């Protein structure tokens, strides 16, 4: 399975609201930086961030506009991450994501997005 396929499987876990599936795609000591927020290290810290957000969403759809894998296996995604929240709000976040993988697991995951755009939709 290519790294692109692994990242797409990781995205499907998000869309299925499968917290354990999301964590299974990560190396135990994975580094996640949801820029401009503070970075997280390790699946326990990432779960603490991801689980409440997934639990509060009714529906998750990540539209992948472009995906590319370079020769070292790094996968880049241009996406719109859509969340239909339990309170009726819909959040759409434009994201550029970078995934570095080793031995079939994501070791480094960085998402770049506009925090103000996200906060305005959450208000």
pLDDT tens, residue by residue, 79-92: 999 999 999 999 99
Q: Are 10 and 25 in contact (CB under 8 A)?
A: yes
pLDDT digits (tens, 9 = 90+) for 20-49: 999 999 999 999 999 999 999 999 999 999
Query: Is 42 strand, coil or helix?
Result: coil
Please report, rounded to a whole number, the percentage of residues in the chain having pLDDT higher than 90: 93
What is the set of domains in the chain, with CATH numbers? 3-122 (3.10.450.50)
Q: How far is CA 46 from CA 34, 69, 89, 103, in A?
A: 10, 24, 24, 20
Q: Is the pLDDT of residue 51 over 90?
A: yes
Task: Note the pTM of the prediction, 2 decimals.
Answer: 0.94
Which residues are known catalytic residues?
A: 81, 111
């Amino acid at each position: 399975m290519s790294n692109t396929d692994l990242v797409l499987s990781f995205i499907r876990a998000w869309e299925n609201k499968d917290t354990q599936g999301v964590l299974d795609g990560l190396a135990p000591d994975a580094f996640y930086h949801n820029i401009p927020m503070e970075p997280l290290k390790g699946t326990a810290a990432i779960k603490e961030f991801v689980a409440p957000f997934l639990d509060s969403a009714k529906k998750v759809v990540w539209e992948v506009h472009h995906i590319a894998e370079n020769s070292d296996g790094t996968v880049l995604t241009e996406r719109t991450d859509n969340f239909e929240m339990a309170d009726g709000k819909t959040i759409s976040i434009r994201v550029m994501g970078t995934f570095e993988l080793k031995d079939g697991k994501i070791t480094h995951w960085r998402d770049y997005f506009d925090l103000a755009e996200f906060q305005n939709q959450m208000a």
